[in-house]
Structure 1
Amino acid sequence: MSLENEKCEPCQGDVPKVTDDEMKELKQDIPEWDVVTEDGVNKLRRTYKFKNFRQALAFTNSVGELAESEQHHPEITTEYGKTTVTWWTHAIDGLHRNDFIMAAKSDKLQDD
């Protein structure tokens, strides 16, 4: 099953972060995403390009609706012609499979 078809699993902080091997495997499904480290926390980040602010804002709102439906919320920055989305699991200060699922679902929103 592809990541975009999976559902997020609720996690409270008692779940392990993805291992380096798992991260490498999962990253293959979302090649446009970068793993960034901020304050020692690994996160997934991608900037989507658009023709104007209206399109960037519409995409931002779509990601927001997705986040609400999955109860997993990213950091989103919207600017003229681009939206940057950053996923990580706050409860574990790092990356969980859920973050890769949400990244794939975000990509699907742009494709639709």
Structure 2
Amino acid sequence: MTKLAEQACEACSSDAPKVTADEQQALLAQLPEWSLIEREGEQQLQRVYKLKTFAEAQAFTNQVGDLAESENHHPAILLEYGKVTVRWWTHKIGGLHRNDFIMASRTEELFQQR
């Protein structure tokens, strides 16, 4: 089975299917530090990363931003002193798509490579 981070994101239209509850649980099992949250009626993936300094947090934020831009899939990112909160969801469908789990996995890899 291909690692989640190595899978390709697919172009997503407004009628793309959201992942089912069973799919969510199976995919989330591969992302132990991530949690499912609901904001404004939409399910999202969220993880808070702890870093030592603002500069480290800013550098990581920039890496996540570059990743997002490369896939044209953009998260919400909150940068704070020593902390970065990342939330992935698919705006077009108002919830979670497989792409969000792929991007969360790639975000994990970026953090591990620092």
SS in 2 for 1:35: strand
Equivalent residue number for residue 54 of structure 2: 53
Q: Give CA deviations for 1:21-40 in whole Å, capped at 9, x if unaligned.
A: 00000001111001000121
CA apart distance, 1:14: 1.6
SS in 1 for 2:69: helix
Which consecutive residues of structure 1, in runs of 5 or more, have no partner in the other structure?
A: none
Equivalent residue number for residue 110 of structure 1: 111
Equivalent residue number for residue 37 of structure 1: 38
- Paired with 2:39 and 2:84, the residues of 1 have a C-alpha distance of 19
Runs of 4+ in structure 1 over 3 Å off? none
Q: How does 1:1-112 map to 2 (within 5 A)?
A: 1-112=2-113
CA apart distance, 1:7: 1.8
Could you tell me the TM-score, scaled by structure 2's length? 0.96
CA apart distance, 1:6: 1.1
SS in 2 for 1:90: coil
- Paired with 2:30 and 2:59, the residues of 1 have a C-alpha distance of 24
CA apart distance, 1:104: 0.2
CA apart distance, 1:93: 0.1
- Paired with 1:28 and 1:36, the residues of 2 have a C-alpha distance of 15
- Paired with 2:58 and 2:29, the residues of 1 have a C-alpha distance of 28
- Paired with 2:41 and 2:15, the residues of 1 have a C-alpha distance of 19
Could you tell me the TM-score, scaled by structure 1's length? 0.98
Which consecutive residues of structure 2, in runs of 5 or more, have no partner in the other structure?
A: none
Q: How many residues align?
A: 112
- Paired with 2:69 and 2:7, the residues of 1 have a C-alpha distance of 16
Percent identical: 54
SS in 2 for 1:55: helix
RMSD over aligned Cα, in angstroms? 0.5
